[in-house]
């Protein structure tokens, strides 16, 4: 058994697609229209295009418990997910220049350096670097 797909709830798929590709640098892998009017949009890391896919899931729009959960995580400052980067400081500098808002600036916690930003789609996202 292996992980091939993870999903992240987003409030606006088009806005999320733009943020995750143009700002974060992910690459669109799949984009198919669904009967519901939503789309099946998956992204992959530019460095691992055959790796795990990230699904931009429109769950909060159609499933109220997901919206409540997403809002609670956002309000408490808890990241929905984490992405590993080579250098948290370099990504922080790059992303802040692009207007990304961070709730946690680069911080060292034990053997990890991390920072947390708002993905503009209802989620806190943490970037991590192993020291």
Question: Tens digit of pLDDT for each residue in 74-122?
Answer: 999 999 999 999 999 999 999 999 999 999 999 999 999 999 999 999 9
Residue 28 is predicted with a pLDDT of 98
Residue 62 is predicted with a pLDDT of 76
Whether residue 35 is predicted with pLDDT greater than 80 in this model: the reply is yes
Looking at residue 54, which CATH number applies to its domain? Answer: 3.10.180.10
- Structural domain of 64: 5-130
Band of residue 59 on the pLDDT scale cut at 50, 70, 90: confident
pTM listed for this prediction: 0.94
Domain count, the chain: 1
Residue 50 vs residue 59, higher pLDDT: 50
> Could you tell me what percent of the chain has a pLDDT over 90?
90
Q: Which of 64, 63, 46, 62 is nearest to 54 (CA)?
A: 46
């Amino acid at each position: 058994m292996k992980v091939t797909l993870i999903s992240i709830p987003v409030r606006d798929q088009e806005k999320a697609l733009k943020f995750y590709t143009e700002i974060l640098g992910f690459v669109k892998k799949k984009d198919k229209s669904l009967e519901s009017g939503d789309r099946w949009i998956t992204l992959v890391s530019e460095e691992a295009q055959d790796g795990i896919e990230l699904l931009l899931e429109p769950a909060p729009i159609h499933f109220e418990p997901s919206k409540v959960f997403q809002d609670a995580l956002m309000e408490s400052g808890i990241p929905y997910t984490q992405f590993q980067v080579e250098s948290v400081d370099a990504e922080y500098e790059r992303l802040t220049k692009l207007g990304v808002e961070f709730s946690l600036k680069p911080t060292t916690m034990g053997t990890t350096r991390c920072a947390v930003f708002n993905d503009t789609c209802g989620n806190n996202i943490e970037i991590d670097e192993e020291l």
